[in-house]
Amino acid sequence: MTSGSGIQIPSRLPLLLTHEGVLLPGSTVRFSVDSPRNMHLVSHRLLKGTSLKSTIIGVIPNTRDPEHDTDDLPSLHKIGTAGIAVQVVGSNWPKPHYTLLITGLCRFSVTSLLKERPFVLAEVEQLDKLEQYTSPAGEGVTAEDGELGELSQKFHQAAIQLLGMLDMSVPVVAKLRRLLDSLPRETLPDVVASMIRTSNKEKLQVLDAVSLEERFKKALPMLTRQIEGLKLLQKTRKISPDTEKRVLSVRKGRVFPVQQLNLDDEDEDDDGDDTTALERKVRGANMTEAALKVCLKELRRLKKMPQSMPEYALTRNYLDLMVELPWNKSTKDCLDIRAARTLLDNDHYAMDKLKRRVLEYLAVRQLKTSLKGPILCFVGPPGVGKTSVGRSIARTLGREFHRIALGGVCDQSDIRGHRRTYVGSMPGRIINGLKTVGVNNPVFLLDEVDKLGKSLQGDPAAALLEVLDPEQNHSFTDHYLNVAFDLSQVLFIATANATATIPPALLDRMEVLQVPGYTQEEKVEIAHRHLIPNQLEQHGLTPQQLQIPQNTTTDIIGRYTREAGVRSLERKIGAICRAVAVKVAEGHRVPRSDASTPESPAKQDKAAPPEMPIVIDHTALKDILGPPVFEMEVSERLTLPGVALGLAWTPLGGEIMFVEASRMEGEGQLTLTGQLGDVMKESAHLAISWLRANAKVYKLTNIVGGPDPLEGTDIHLHFPAGAVTKDGPSAGVTIVTCLASLFSGRLVRSDVAMTGEITLRGLVLPVGGIKDKVLAAHRAGVKRIILPKRNEKDLEEIPANVRADLDFVTTKNLDEVLNAAFDGGFTHPQLTSKL
């Protein structure tokens, strides 16, 4: 800079080509530059310069420099602003760029280009007097008489009126007040236009106005519009400091125009409208007061944030989620109990306990509208319809349904969400599910809650404690939301195959409903009501093409499947449908073959379509499914002493379990095989000890006839199948019966199965899973079942037709067990009270 008649800018200026804002003399603007010419200008001129002169550059607005370094220079705007770079900040994210803070000095016009690469250098002509922006008001040029003086006076009065409508405690308003008092009036159009809310197009018009009179004429309507807008705003509601900050903004003591970093005028207006629309959505979302307070705070941060910041997208996504959540949206329950009962009966056969619980909920909802959603847990083997009955419950209530699969989940953030400080953070599955269904009272099915894992990322089962506690879930706090959300109206239904792996604290929060396996009669009914019509539809067949009689269905259930549910049965029916579909498809091709070439009579007979309907009998069943997989082998296995039939419970339902024993000369050792757990091994030692203690009473002998069954004798106990892990106390009575048969040489009855825990005194204690065990015995063809006396109450859950087919013997001690397990009783003298 040199001094002469006035302060002058250099005649040769490097030019910064910008398209994202307009720099007016007297204002300060941030520019982000990433094009090759602009990057070279910063690195070679600004960063390497050592004098104040080297920091003065020319800013040419409304000019987009090509992203790639080419020889073609875009057409330059005729007027620019000389400015001094007061700050340069470089960054490599998301791509290399510089951010420049530039203060405008004066206008200039480009007279000629001196060079275009590596950056643009031009010969310029100064259009404004530089000292007018730095001189006090008294030293500047006073307003002349005539039209210019009138415009100057009117503009100054309008600026004073604008200040009077704003709060002087806001720093930017006080800054504007000081500028009005200190700067000459001819500088006011540039300064005020840069501070009030105007578009880039309007600022460009002010920049192009070289004459002072024209400049006042361009800027005065902008100022008047701002005043009228504030008047309208004050009529609707009292103006707040937050509104004033939207009109004017200040950063680090320098005055900036709002939205100065938008790419162009349309983007600027769109972004403002977008933020306003988002604010309307936030206020109209009917969220809680605490959530609304948090959202408005984030919204204020968003308005001050440039879109290039990574946090902009995170904050915007957070606000979008908060708006989409159903804070007060709910569906109306269908409370017609008769219609609900009909719908449940049509969807599911049996399952009376589950249906009754749903109808009870509906009845209470009729009497009390503000009922909290129950938290149910359906426990039963796979394939019995736990998940599908949850979907039916949602349809019965008229609610939305959402399923959350928890099998294998080992991160508590899946339930509670991630904190927003992490990259890629997102809400948990509960909040995500609510966003998906769009209402706050859906039916949530937490599938396989017994298969939750645990890892270094936390225990999801512990995170579920808050979700499934009716006393806590009215204020469930997701880490991502960080505000409370009411889950009390959600109907939670959890499913599990077993309760053993569910933590006790979590199990205590749920109402457990046992879903037992189906009986053979129930499976037949389910197959003909649901499975066969469904499979016919999936395979494009009709009942006029395929018929499966009930005796064939019974054969499939008894000889080809052995399960508590109906999944394998459905797969077998699907295999039959596929085989019939092949026959039907082959028959459809016969007319085309006849039309093309004549066939021999033998081939015509072979390719002729089958007679409809195709009825599946036992012969066809064997051709399609192969030989039977399961046989009634109970009577065949119990042909030797030392074999007894027990009953076991598994997550898949009940199972029959053989216990085999043999003895040989030895040293009195007991060998146990079959992958047994510690409890089962202890039961075997208990059985041996009780039988040795009562050997004289029952006349039990060793291999050579001695009174001690173990003297000179080794015992081997085996539990097939050897590859399946087994544990639990319920095999105690079976082991005693098996060893008593071995030591006495007598056969156990072939149609008897048993279950029960034993003690050293010979008492029989109750066990669990009675219904599943009884159904398994019934499937296997057993006729008599020995149960503990204290399990007699569990027989009420067994279907009447199954109870009618079986003979139940309830026992208090092992003496009664042995008498019921052997034909004619287990002969012995009258027992004394020591038993």
Higher pLDDT, 750 or 786: 786
Higher pLDDT, 268 or 191: 191
Catalytic entry in 203, 245, 355, 773:
773
Q: Which residues of 114-126 are buried (b: 16+ CB within 10 A; e: fewer)?
A: eeeeebbbbebeb
Is residue 596 annotated as part of the catalytic site, yes or no?
no
437's CB contacts (< 8 A; 6+ apart) are 326, 400, 401, 402
**End-to-end C-alpha distance for the chain, whole angstroms:** 117
SS3 content of the chain, % helix, strand, coil (to 5): 45, 20, 40
Backbone angles phi, psi at 766, to 5 degrees: -70, 155
pLDDT, tens only, 13-72: 999 998 888 999 989 999 998 888 899 999 988 988 878 888 899 999 977 767 665 667
- pLDDT above 90 (res 586): no
Q: Is the peptide bond before 94 cis (omega within 30 degrees of 0)?
A: yes
Q: Give 591's pLDDT tier (boundaries 50, 70, 90).
A: very low
Q: Could you tell me which of 406, 340, 399, 348 has the C-alpha nearest to residue 377?
A: 406
Q: Give 185's pLDDT tier (boundaries 50, 70, 90).
A: confident
Rounded to whole angstroms, the Cα distance separating 444 from 196 reads 52
Q: Which residues of 704-727 are buried (b: 16+ CB within 10 A; e: fewer)?
A: eeeeebbeebbbbbbbeeeeeebe
SS3 387: helix
Share of residues in the chain with pLDDT > 70 (%):
87
Can you read off the two tokens belonging to residue 589? 């091709």
pLDDT, tens only, 758-783: 998 889 999 988 888 898 888 788 88
Of the ranges 178-192, 201-215, 703-717, the best mean pLDDT one: 201-215
What pLDDT score was predicted for residue 637? 63
| E runs forming strands in 43-148 | 56-60, 79-91, 97-115, 120-126
Rounded to whole angstroms, the Cα distance separating 692 from 820 reads 21
pLDDT, tens only, 503-517: 999 999 999 998 887
Q: Give 723's pLDDT tier (boundaries 50, 70, 90).
A: low
Sheet with 784-788, side-by-side order of all strands:
670-673, 713-718, 653-665, 643-650, 752-754, 784-788, 807-811
Q: Give 310's pLDDT tier (boundaries 50, 70, 90).
A: confident
CB 107 within 8 A of CB 58: no
- pLDDT above 60 (res 78): yes
What pLDDT score was predicted for residue 147? 81
State the DSSP code for 518: P
- pLDDT above 90 (res 102): yes
Q: Could you tell me which of 785, 782, 795 has the C-alpha nearest to residue 817?
A: 785
Residue labelled with tokens 């040989």:
664
Whole-number average pLDDT of the chain? 83
Q: Give 263's pLDDT tier (boundaries 50, 70, 90).
A: very low
Helices (H), 589-706: 590-596, 601-607, 618-625, 634-637, 678-693, 695-698
- pLDDT above 60 (res 560): yes
Can you read off the two tokens belonging to residue 475? 């204020």
Residue 174: Cβ-neighbour burial (10 angstroms; 0-12, 13-18, 19+): middle
- Pairing mode, strands 12-17 and 120-126: antiparallel
Which amino acid would we find at residue 732?
G
Is residue 793 annotated as part of the catalytic site, yes or no?
no
pLDDT, tens only, 112-168: 999 988 899 999 999 887 665 555 554 444 444 578 888 888 898 898 888 888 877
| E runs forming strands in 236-299 | 249-251, 254-256
Helices (H), 443-526: 460-467, 504-508, 520-526
Q: Could you tell me which of 756, 799, 521, 778 has the C-alpha nearest to residue 648?
A: 756
Catalytic entry in 730, 741, 744, 750:
730
SS3 161: helix
SS3 615: strand
Containing H/E element for 301?
Answer: helix 289-304
Residue 478: Cβ-neighbour burial (10 angstroms; 0-12, 13-18, 19+): buried
- pLDDT above 50 (res 248): no
